[in-house]
Structures are given as C-alpha cells and as structure tokens.
Amino acid sequence: MYQDKELSADPSTAAFAAAVYAPKKTDRSALPEFVARLKADNVSVAGILQESKIEAGDTMRTIDSVDITTGHRIPIKRPMQNEKDCGLDVSSLAETTAILRSVLEDQPDLVVVEKFGEQEQNGHGLLDEIMQIITEGIPLLIAVPEPALPIWKDQSGDLGATVGFTADEMQRWWLSLPADQSIS
C-alpha cells in the first residue's frame, strides 16, 4: 500500500484526489468497495471502474471498463498473441470517454475513474475528460499507480489531495469535502 508523508485530505485542497496504489501489489478491491458504500448512502456516483481477470485457459489478463451508473461493460484490453503487444482497444477506449463526458451533463455528487494508464500519462486517453470534470468542479477520485504519481501531480498542477488506496482513506477524503460538494 502507498505510504507517503505527503498524503493529504485537507478540505482546502481542490475537490479531487488521487488514490495511489502499488501496481501488482495493492488489493484493488478498495475502490469498488468505496463506490458501493457511497451508493448504499444514496450518493450519486458516476464514472468507470476496471475489472481485470484471466479467463480459463488464458495466460494473459483482460480488462473491462465498467460504467458505475449502468453496469455496462466495455472490453478495453484483450490478450494478444505477442506479450509485448499492448492489447488496448482504442475504439473501446473512445466508448469509455463517452461515459465521462456524460457526467458533465448529469452532475453526479462524485466521479470515480479507475484509469490513469499509459495513454493518460502521455496526455491522451481519458485525460481531457478527467481535466474537464475537474474544471467543472465536480468532485473526482482517480486511481493513480504509484510510479505515475509525479506525472499526475504535474498534469493536475499538484492541486488535489493524495490518499492511500483503502476504502477508509477514500471515505475520509470524501467526508472532508465541503458540505456543498460532499453529500454524505
């Protein structure tokens, strides 16, 4: 689990936070658990979660983006013949961006994004939609792999909070937001 003295959940920070995890080491179930808690409290949560799995007989993982609001699954990465190939389906990634664009109209209480991969780190993928959500002032929680934290801080102007990847820490951040931004 990510541990850093710079962890912050100060209400005076912008209404967005990076939930930092160690790739291949962190239990990634905390983010869906956090989302489920908020939904149980009738908080309007939108965005995308990712589900990674290995199908029977396969040796490589597949990744689906899951629309938090509808449960619609979008296959964004499939196994490739050559392990060095990425397997990212760019057309499916475009479908995922539509989910994030819709939150600008719907104005949920919180947007959760479990995607800050190579595309976003290089200024592509979902980054424009993520930055638009921040600009609109809609609270956002984004999962960021620890090695990419400096890139995220640079892209976000180092304005948001940084929290550990546990449902409790995410909840503390959420509850630290001013009442007009955090509804629970």
Q: What is the pLDDT of residues 122-165, one digit of tens each?
A: 999 899 999 999 999 999 999 999 999 999 999 999 999 999 99
Q: How far apart are CA 153 and CA 73, in angstroms?
A: 29
Enter the pTM of the model.
0.84
**For the chain, what is the domain count?**
1
Answer whether residue 7 is part of any domain.
no
Residue 86 domain-assigned (yes or no): yes
- Is residue 33 one of the residues assigned to a domain? yes
Residue 34 structural domain: 16-155+166-176
CATH code assigned at 171? 3.40.50.300
Angle in degrees, CA 116, 18, 149, rounded to 5? 65
